[in-house]
Structure 1
Amino acid sequence: MNDAASLFSMPVARLGATVFSLGHVAIAAGALVLALLVLLAFVMWRAGRARAAAQAEAARLAREAEARMAELTRAQAELSGRMGTIAEVFGARQAELTKALSERLDGMSSRLGQSISEQTRATHENLARLQERLAVIDTAQNNIQSLAGQVVQLQQILSDKQTRGAFGQSRMEAIIADGLPHGAYEFQPTLSNGSRPDCLVKMPNGAPSLVIDAKFPLEAWNAIRAASEGEGGAEARRTAETAFRRDVEVHIRAISEKYLINGETQDTAFMFVPSESIFAEIHENFEALVQKAHRARVVIVSPSLLMLSIQVIQAVLKDARMREQAHLIQAEVVKLMQDVCRLDDRVRKLQSHFQAASKDVDLILTSTDKVTKRGARIEALELGGPESREADEGEAGRAAGPGGGSLRLRVVEE
């Protein structure tokens, strides 16, 4: 700035003097002053323009700030209103929630008390039933103890050979007596060769009788069980099985030789085994004995197989009795057919009477229908006054012709 002032303070004579030179170009002082003036004017113009732009921007920012403040004020007012509304709604909802929770708690307390009472009652009932079942279990335990005593007695019975044979005989006799009618069997009979089987079942139509033997070698079987449960091991069991096989073969041969008599008994006899377990063991582990029995025409049967065989024999006996009574049945059928023919004739006669009565009823219904229709027509008659009667009589006379004198009535239809 000092240089500029010094330049402006120069005398006019010195404005044309050369101040400095750039190469071969000499720059005068007046030109330098003019350039500085132009530059100063340009700088001042730019500074004024920048100030105007800054003022306009400040004014715009002030307006935007005022608008935002107004909007913030309005938003704050709306927020305050909404907060008040939310507070009211929240208060109402809180009251409703409190009321609902109170009702739920009351209902839950009531249901809980009812459930506890029902559970208590159910517990008492279950305890009562449990006591009843315990009483039943005590009774069953007493029965089991009694049964155990009876089993011990049965074991004592089976330990004796004679009583054991009587036990098998009694089981066989009970099965046969339950399945066959009296007179169709005989216990301890005497055959023609002097032998006495345990049972003889009489077959129908003069066929030979069937022999059933109930004496089974249980001693050898008990020896096998004792060897299996004892300390003898496999060798003792093989020895007991050999003895059992030998005793059964002897018994099968005795049945085949003593009880199979041609023309007197069937060519097959039954050997009764009084236990299903023994029967299953024989068929499972002693297949050779079963085959020898078949070849000797002896069938080994258990209680269930004997019962099934007795049922088959019972059916055969029933069929034989029906065949014996066939002629009586045929005569009764002939008489029944005669009665049916007479009944058919009488039914046909009754049907003809019913048909005649039906025709009479139809004729009566036809007559009553006609009478009903005529009565309805008479009820529907409409008679007019004197003038109408004269007009009707004139019309009737014209319709009837010269010799007609009938009265025409006008029927009014409903």
Structure 2
Amino acid sequence: MNELSSILSAPVAQLGASTVTLGQLLAVVAALFLVLLVALIAALWRAANARAAAAAEAADHARDAEARMAGILQAQAEMQGRLGAVAEVFGARQAELTQSIGQRLDAMTGRIGQTMTEQTRSTHESLAKLQERLAVIDTAQGNIQSLAGQVVQLQAILSNKQTRGAFGQSRMEAIVADGLPHGAYEFQATLSNGNRPDCVVRMPNDAPSLVIDAKFPLEAWNAIRAAADSGSEAQKYAAQAFRRDLEVHIKAISEKYLINGETQDTAFLFVPSESIFAEIHENFESIVHRAHRARIVIVSPSLLMLSIQVIQAILKDASMREQAHLIQGEVIRLMEDVSRLDDRVRKLQTHFGQASKDIDDILVSSSKVTKRGQKIEALEFGTPGAETAEAVAAPVKAQGADSRTGQLRLRVVDEAGA
């Protein structure tokens, strides 16, 4: 025992000023062991509790899984029932659909047959109409051939210079005659120098007349058209010949028909075709400028028609100016009648005003008479009735002695007193 005590008291280590013995060391170790043992036991307890909780949770999960499985099995059973019901409904619907499709196919087959019948009948009718139209086309072809013959005849007419001039003259005359009144123009009139233009338009207010020439040189133009297939040289010579002939014709119009004081300073050169007019302005601009310098205006049928309409408006304006003094006289007489009417209306207004005033006076008098009568009715008559009547009538007589209204009031008061 002493040896054990000595062993336990034997120093083992030196910590600063303190000496650590074996007994103290063993006590510390024993304490540490005890602490570790307690911690181990606590850890084992917590592990046991965790395993128990995990087992409980696993059991809960298992119960939930069983419940969910049961729900799934129940839902599967319900789904199978619903699928069976849906299958039955689909079967019934399929049968109805099959029957409906069969009925529609039968109806469509009938309609298709009816449509094919109608289409066949329509096709036969269309073929019959087509045959009729072909007959009409044959007739039209015959008319076209006849018209072609007439065009050939027209070409033969236009190939003759005299007949071609008559054609242009007739077109110009038709335009002028349709647009101007009779007497405002003259065809083939003779001027003071002995020349006879195709048309002379009489301008208003003794103004100089307007000259229209319809002798356009179409033979040179036909030469240009004929040289279109002959090469550039032939076209060039034909264009030069056309330009030369047109310049000569413009110069002749300027020298023959422009007379100072007798005709206008400008004359019209009528071209009987719109296409020729457009071709001249497009490819022969120098001729147009030369004509302007010579105071010659090249006009197509549409431009001539427009110019005639302008001249017609000028003539109407001049006619209205000539009749202006007549219109002015009528306006003056109209104003006199209006002035007399105004005077008579004013007099009538004065009469109506006087009558209205008289009516107002009569109403005032009748109102006074009514008031007097009410006063008389309110009086109590005694024995001396005559004196009372005289007393009541005295102011009425004094007030109405100078008018018929006063006399009326006096008569009413006297009758009331009696």
- TM-score bin, normalised by smaller chain: 0.5 to 0.7
Q: Which amino acid aligns with 1:278?
A: I
TM-aligned CA distance change 1:100 to 1:196, over 3 Å: same
TM-aligned CA distance change 1:345 to 1:110, over 3 Å: farther
2:314 corresponds to: 316
2:237 corresponds to: 239
TM-aligned CA distance change 1:258 to 1:346, over 3 Å: same
Unaligned runs of 5+ in 1: 1-72, 361-414
1:145 corresponds to: 145
Residue 121 of structure 1 and its aligned partner are, at CA, apart by: 5.5
1:105 corresponds to: 105
Alignment of 1:119-134 (within 5 A): 119-120=119-120, 122-123=122-123, 126-127=126-127, 130-131=130-131, 133-134=133-134
Residue 239 of structure 1 and its aligned partner are, at CA, apart by: 1.2
> For 1:175 and 1:154, how far apart are their aligned partners in 2?
20
* 3-state DSSP of counterpart to 1:197: coil
Residue 268 of structure 1 and its aligned partner are, at CA, apart by: 0.7
- The match for 2:279 among 249, 273, 281 is 281
TM-aligned CA distance change 1:331 to 1:78, over 3 Å: closer
* 3-state DSSP of counterpart to 1:265: coil
TM-aligned CA distance change 1:202 to 1:80, over 3 Å: closer
- The match for 1:266 among 264, 267, 272 is 264
Q: Which has the higher helix share?
A: 2
> For 1:187 and 1:75, how far apart are their aligned partners in 2?
114
- The match for 2:324 among 319, 323, 326 is 326
Q: Percent identity between the aligned chains?
A: 79
1:248 corresponds to: 246
The TM-score normalised by the length of structure 1 is 0.60
Residue 76 of structure 1 and its aligned partner are, at CA, apart by: 12
* 3-state DSSP of counterpart to 1:266: coil
Q: CA offsets per residue over residues 263-283 of structure 1, 9 Å max, x none?
A: 000011111111111111111
> For 1:126 and 1:342, how far apart are their aligned partners in 2?
80
2:41 corresponds to: none
Q: Is 236-245 or 188-197 further displaced after alignment?
A: 236-245
TM-aligned CA distance change 1:324 to 1:95, over 3 Å: same
Q: Which amino acid aligns with 2:220?
A: A
Count of matched residue pairs: 284
> For 1:167 and 1:311, how far apart are their aligned partners in 2?
22
Unaligned runs of 5+ in 2: 1-72, 360-418
Q: Which amino acid aligns with 2:98?
A: T
1:4 corresponds to: none
Residue 92 of structure 1 and its aligned partner are, at CA, apart by: 2.3
Q: Which amino acid aligns with 2:159?
A: S
Residue 141 of structure 1 and its aligned partner are, at CA, apart by: 3.0
> For 2:131 and 2:337, how far apart are their aligned partners in 1?
68
1:301 corresponds to: 299
Q: Is 288-297 or 129-138 further displaced after alignment?
A: 129-138
Residue 112 of structure 1 and its aligned partner are, at CA, apart by: 2.8
* 3-state DSSP of counterpart to 1:270: strand
1:58 corresponds to: none
Q: Which amino acid aligns with 2:178?
A: D
Q: CA offsets per residue over residues 177-200 of structure 1, 9 Å max, x none?
A: 111111000111111111111110
1:217 corresponds to: 217
TM-aligned CA distance change 1:346 to 1:90, over 3 Å: farther
Q: Which amino acid aligns with 1:216?
A: F
Q: Is 242-251 or 199-208 further displaced after alignment?
A: 242-251
Residue 80 of structure 1 and its aligned partner are, at CA, apart by: 9.1
Residue 288 of structure 1 and its aligned partner are, at CA, apart by: 1.0
2:397 corresponds to: none
